[in-house]
Amino acid sequence: MRTIKDRYAIVGVGESERSRKSGTTPLHLALDAANAAIKDAGLKATDIDGFMNYNEGDSCTSHQLATYLGVRPKYVKDIQGGGASTEMLIADAVALIEAGQLNTVLIYRSMNGSSGTRVGRGYDPDMLQGALAGGSFVIPYGSASPSQWFGMYATRHMHETGITKEHLGHVCLSFYEHAQRNPKAFLHGKPLTMENYLATPDISSPFNIHDSCLELDEGNAIIVTSAEKAEDCTSKPVYIMGMAARQCHPHAHYWNDIDHVASDYVAKELYENAGVTPDDIDVASIYDCFSWVVMRQLEAYGFAKRGEVGEFVAEGNLKIGGKLPTNTAGGMLSEGYTHGMNNAIEIVRQLRHDYDGTARQVEDCKIGICTGWAGPDIAGAMILRN
């Protein structure tokens, strides 16, 4: 198989304003994000010939976005999906450029995730197979939302490895601290202490509101092209060293085996493709729909051994200045939530050193990892460099 290492790059990133109530449409948010990414790359809208998005029935189509940008696209793709879809669509864009079908692709996620369709709402009335595949195995027993599904995994993992509620709190405190350095983070100006964290009642054990991702109205966009085309952009390209776009749990009904998650199967291929090891990673964007999801991925991607993840985060290693600065804009727990694309945007900016001279920049970072998590059943990741 031909390697893609360093032959493709992310050349533009952008986002709309984020809020609880945008007062506008997902199309408008997508236009704001797309125009910001196009400006960031130093391109014209007509330089883009492919448009892709992922959604949960809550967004505009790629064709609509292209039309309102004044582009007749050669290729459009709209998929149903959430977490890990950023990495998958970047891989799809690379494949289409490699095949000679496209030159430059804009990928976006736009949603009124607070004022419009919210996560966990709008399922089919039967609430069994309609909510998720195999839902009849868990929903009748009271597990009917993402916090409950993932909480089941978290409780088991915490029991086996010694992770405590305080350890979950250290993940939250690290990301909230990063949000205080990011004026665009939704929870900027709202720091969190361990005392306040522990005093907050659970929504669904072991998660309270701080352990859970924000639900907001916002749009994000990323532009991908070849290394050759990247030379024509005004931005500093961030090169794709390697990817593992979409790995799966061995069983579609993944609660059949809650000791394993799809991320466990991603790492080996990812590091081999990129030609690096966990020790080479300077900065990370780790999918954080819930705090425990970060901890389970730290284990899966080899940053801490099983049974040692709790101490790893308690020592402050996720903070800027730690061993693995992670989700440096605040992540989905405290910056915003577009099923992971905002985390991908942040790692691009870190690797470009957009924040040089400020307390927000990870010093001397050259290589970063960005992970996606659709659930315990599906995951993907990519490794990038400057």
Backbone angles phi, psi at 313, to 5 degrees: -75, -35
DSSP 5-29: TTTEEEEEEEE---BS--SS-HHHH
Q: Find the Cα–Cα–Cα–Cα dihedral 328, 333, 336, 341, rounded to 10°.
A: 70
Helices (H), the chain: 26-41, 62-68, 85-98, 146-161, 165-179, 194-199, 227-230, 267-274, 291-300, 309-314, 331-334, 341-352
Cα–chain-centroid distance for residue 63?
24
Q: What whole-number distance in Å separates Cα of residue 234 and Cα of residue 241? A: 21
Catalytic residue among 153, 301, 337, 355: 337
Beta strands 8-15; 217-226: pairing state: antiparallel
Neighbours of 183 (CB within 10 A): 9
Catalytic hit among 54, 254, 287, 301: 287
337 an active-site residue?
Answer: yes
Task: Give the dihedral of Cα atoms 52, 332, 250, 206; nearest 10 deg.
Answer: -160
Q: Is 197 a catalytic residue?
A: no
3-class SS letters over 30-79: HHHHHHHHHHHHCCCHHHCCEEEEEECCCCCCHHHHHHHCCCCCCEEEEE
Catalytic (active-site) positions: 287, 337
